[in-house]
C-alpha cells in the first residue's frame, strides 16, 4: 500500500475513537440533583434528591457534617433500584426516632449515588442553616457573637450583645485562648417558647424544671429573657472553657469548669452565700468529691459556691497567667492532678489544704485516696440561675437530682425560685 494511503487509513481509524465512544462510557455517567431541604422546627428536617444513570441506581446516600465540631455522618435513602430515582432522608420527623439538633445548627451536606455497574456521582456541596422558624428572628453581631431575638426590643438585644461580646473577650484573655468560630445566642421570651428548642425530657422532668440558660452546642447558647446578663455570661464562659481546656484527650473537672463560669458572673448570688455558710459551719466538700457534679441534691448550691471559691483562690493567689496555663495543660491530655502539679506544684489534695487554710479551716482529718480521678471527670456546665436542664455529659438521673436539689435549696439560700441551668453539648 502506498505510504500516503496508509497514513490516511490510520488517521481515519484514530478519529473513530473520538467520534464513536464505547457503550460502557456512555452508561458511566451518574447524575445527582439536590432537590432541597424541607424544614419545620423542631419536628421536621427532610433532605431530598434524585439520581439517574444508564444502569439502575442501587444506592442514594446523604453525607453531612454538623458544624463547628465537624461531626460527620451519612444516611441511606430507601429506594428501589431503577434508572431514575427520587428519594428523601429525614433527620427529624414525628414518625421516627430522632436525634437532637438545636436551633442554629449549620449542616454541610451533599448526595452520592451508585448504580449497579459501580459508577458513582454526587451533587455539589451545600449548606443548610436549621433555625427555629416558629418566630421571625432579628439578629445583631459584634465581636464574633450573634444575638438572635424576636421580641422586638432592639435596645435590650443590643445590651445583651455587648455583654456577650465583652464576656467572650474577657474570658478568652483570662484563659489565654481564642474562640475561632462564630458564637450564636438565641434569646427566648418565655418558657413555653424555649422548651421545644431544648433536648427532649420526660413530661415529669419538664413539669418540674425551668431552663434559664444552656450551652446547647459548642457554638450555641440559649437564654431565657432579654436581660439575663449573668446567665449569658455563665453560658458563654462554657464556650470559652471548652475551647481552652477540651481536646482529644483533655477533660476538665466539674469544679474547674463550673467554678470558672460562676467566676465570670458579676455576682455569684446565692452560691457565695452557700459556701460562706459552709465555711462557718466547717462542713465544706472535699475537692476530689466535686471532680464531677454531685449526685446529692442537697449539695448542689455548695458545689457551685465552693467551685467558684476554688477558682477565685487560684486566680487571686497565683495570678491569671498560671490559671490559663492550667487549662492548657489539661488540653494536652493531662488529668487534673498532673496539670495542677505542673503549674502550681500541688495536686487536688494540696489545693484543698491551701484553700482550707486561707479560709480559716483546719486541715482535713483524714487524707483522701490519692489516685487521680477517683471520681470520673464531668463535662457538666450547669448555670444555676433558674430551675433548668442539663448540658453536659452527666447521666439523666444525676441531672434530674441536681435540678430538684436546686429547687429545694432555692428557699434556703434566697434564690426566690431561681435554680439550675445547664448546657448540653
Q: Which three cell numbers stand for residue 412?
A: 434556703
In angstroms, the CA 425 to CA 191 distance is 21
The strand ranges marked E within 68-212 are 71-76, 82-92, 105-115, 120-122, 126-130, 138-142, 145-149, 183-188
pLDDT digits (tens, 9 = 90+) for 168-211: 999 999 999 999 999 999 999 999 999 999 987 767 666 666 88
Asked whether the bond before 110 is cis by omega within 30 degrees of 0, the reply is no
Is the domain of 90 the same as that of 180? Answer: no
Is the domain of 121 the same as that of 142? Answer: no
Helix (H) or strand (E) holding 54: strand 44-67
The strand ranges marked E within 274-318 are none
Mean pLDDT for the chain overall: 82
Is the domain of 98 the same as that of 240? Answer: no
Query: Residue 116 falls within a domain, yes or no?
Result: yes
- Which backbone phi and psi does 417 adopt, to 5 degrees? 90, 5
What sign does the CA torsion over 255, 258, 260, 265 have?
Answer: negative
In angstroms, the CA 350 to CA 340 distance is 9
Burial track 199-228 (b if 16+ CB lie within 10 A, e otherwise): eebeeebeeebbbbbbbbbbbbbbbbbbeb
Last-in-domain residue among 73, 101, 130: 130
In angstroms, the CA 328 to CA 322 distance is 10
Is the domain of 349 the same as that of 212? Answer: yes
pLDDT digits (tens, 9 = 90+) for 13-30: 444 433 333 333 334 589
The pLDDT of residue 389: 34
Query: Residue 228 falls within a domain, yes or no?
Result: yes
pLDDT at 37 over 70: yes
pLDDT digits (tens, 9 = 90+) for 208-242: 668 899 999 999 999 999 899 999 999 999 999 99
Q: Cα–Cα–Cα angle for 399, 401, 407, nearest 5°? A: 105
What sign does the CA torsion over 264, 265, 267, 272 have?
Answer: negative
Is the domain of 34 the same as that of 145? Answer: no
Is the domain of 111 the same as that of 239? Answer: no
The pLDDT of residue 72: 93
Burial track 250-286 (b if 16+ CB lie within 10 A, e otherwise): bbbbbbbbbbbbbbbbeebbbbbbbbeebbeeeebbb
Last-in-domain residue among 130, 149, 183: 130
The pLDDT of residue 5: 46
Conformation bin of residue 226: beta by default, left when phi > 0, alpha when psi is -120 to 50: alpha
Asked whether the bond before 42 is cis by omega within 30 degrees of 0, the reply is yes
| 273: Cα within 13 Å, side-chain hemisphere | 10
The pLDDT of residue 393: 30
Q: DSSP letter at 88?
A: E
Is the domain of 210 the same as that of 291? Answer: yes
Q: Is 422 in a helix, a strand, or coil?
A: coil
Is the domain of 220 the same as that of 107? Answer: no
List the CATH number of the domain containing 66: 2.60.40.640
Query: Residue 21 falls within a domain, yes or no?
Result: no
Closest CA to 231 of 114, 19, 386: 386
Query: Residue 329 falls within a domain, yes or no?
Result: yes
Query: Residue 74 falls within a domain, yes or no?
Result: yes
pLDDT digits (tens, 9 = 90+) for 238-290: 999 999 999 777 689 999 999 999 999 999 989 999 999 999 999 999 999 99
Is the domain of 85 the same as that of 224? Answer: no
Q: With beta carbons less than 8 A apart as the criterion, state whether 214 and 235 touch.
A: yes
pLDDT at 157 over 80: yes
Closest CA to 306 of 363, 173, 338, 314: 314
- Which backbone phi and psi does 77 adopt, to 5 degrees? -75, 150
Is the domain of 205 the same as that of 344? Answer: yes
* Cell 457554638, residue located: 219
In angstroms, the CA 373 to CA 367 distance is 15
Domain that holds residue 154: 138-413
The domain tally of the chain equals 2
Query: Residue 15 falls within a domain, yes or no?
Result: no
pLDDT at 4 over 80: no
Query: With pLDDT > 70 as the criterion, what percentage of the chain qualifies?
Result: 76
Last-in-domain residue among 103, 130, 157: 130
Query: Residue 252 falls within a domain, yes or no?
Result: yes
* Cell 422546627, residue located: 41
pLDDT digits (tens, 9 = 90+) for 70-124: 789 999 999 999 999 999 999 988 876 668 899 999 999 999 999 999 999 999 9
In angstroms, the CA 170 to CA 320 distance is 12
Query: Residue 7 falls within a domain, yes or no?
Result: no
List the CATH number of the domain containing 351: 1.10.390
Closest CA to 32 of 55, 54, 60: 60
Is the domain of 321 the same as that of 212? Answer: yes
Is the domain of 100 the same as that of 169? Answer: no
Amino acid at each position: 500500500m502506498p505510504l500516503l494511503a496508509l497514513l490516511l487509513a490510520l488517521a481515519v481509524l484514530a478519529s473513530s475513537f473520538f467520534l464513536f465512544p464505547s457503550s460502557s462510557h456512555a452508561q458511566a455517567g451518574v447524575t445527582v440533583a439536590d432537590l432541597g431541604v424541607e424544614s419545620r422546627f423542631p419536628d421536621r428536617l427532610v433532605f431530598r434528591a434524585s439520581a439517574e444513570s444508564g444502569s439502575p441506581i442501587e444506592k442514594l446516600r446523604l453525607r453531612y457534617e454538623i458544624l463547628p465540631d465537624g461531626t460527620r455522618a451519612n444516611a441511606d435513602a430507601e429506594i428501589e433500584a431503577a434508572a431514575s430515582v427520587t428519594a428523601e432522608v429525614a433527620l427529624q420527623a414525628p414518625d421516627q426516632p430522632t436525634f437532637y439538633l438545636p436551633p442554629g445548627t449549620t449542616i454541610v451536606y451533599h448526595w452520592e449515588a451508585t448504580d449497579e455497574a459501580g459508577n458513582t456521582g454526587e451533587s455539589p456541596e451545600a449548606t443548610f442553616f436549621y433555625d427555629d422558624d416558629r418566630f421571625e428572628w432579628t439578629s445583631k453581631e459584634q465581636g464574633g457573637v450573634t444575638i438572635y431575638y424576636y421580641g422586638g426590643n432592639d435596645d435590650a438585644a443590643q445590651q445583651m450583645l455587648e455583654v456577650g461580646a465583652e464576656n467572650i473577650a474577657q474570658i478568652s484573655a483570662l484563659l489565654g485562648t481564642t474562640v475561632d468560630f462564630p458564637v450564636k445566642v438565641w434569646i427566648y421570651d418565655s418558657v413555653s417558647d424555649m422548651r421545644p428548642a431544648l433536648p427532649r425530657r420526660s413530661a415529669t422532668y419538664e413539669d418540674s424544671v425551668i431552663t434559664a440558660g444552656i450551652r446547647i452546642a459548642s457554638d450555641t447558647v440559649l437564654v431565657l429573657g432579654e436581660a439575663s446578663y449573668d446567665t449569658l455570661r455563665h453560658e458563654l464562659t462554657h464556650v470559652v472553657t471548652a475551647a481552652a481546656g477540651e481536646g482529644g484527650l483533655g477533660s476538665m473537672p466539674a469544679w474547674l469548669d463550673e467554678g470558672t463560669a460562676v467566676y465570670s458572673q458579676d455576682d455569684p448570688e446565692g452560691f457565695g452565700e452557700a459556701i460562706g455558710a459552709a465555711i462557718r459551719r466547717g462542713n465544706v466538700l472535699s475537692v476530689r468529691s466535686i471532680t464531677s457534679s454531685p449526685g446529692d441534691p442537697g449539695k448542689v448550691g455548695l458545689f457551685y459556691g465552693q467551685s467558684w471559691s476554688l477558682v477565685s483562690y487560684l486566680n487571686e493567689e497565683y495570678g491569671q497567667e498560671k490559671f490559663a496555663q492550667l487549662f492548657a495543660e489539661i488540653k494536652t491530655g493531662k488529668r487534673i492532678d498532673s496539670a495542677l502539679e505542673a503549674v502550681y506544684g500541688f495536686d487536688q489534695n494540696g489545693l484543698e489544704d491551701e484553700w482550707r487554710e486561707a479560709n480559716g479551716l483546719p486541715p482535713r482529718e483524714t487524707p483522701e485516696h490519692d489516685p487521680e480521678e477517683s471520681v470520673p471527670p464531668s463535662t457538666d456546665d450547669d448555670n444555676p440561675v433558674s430551675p433548668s436542664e442539663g448540658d453536659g455529659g452527666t447521666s439523666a438521673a444525676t441531672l434530674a437530682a441536681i435540678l430538684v436539689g436546686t429547687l429545694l435549696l432555692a428557699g434556703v439560700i434566697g434564690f426566690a425560685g431561681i435554680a439550675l441551668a445547664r448546657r448540653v453539648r
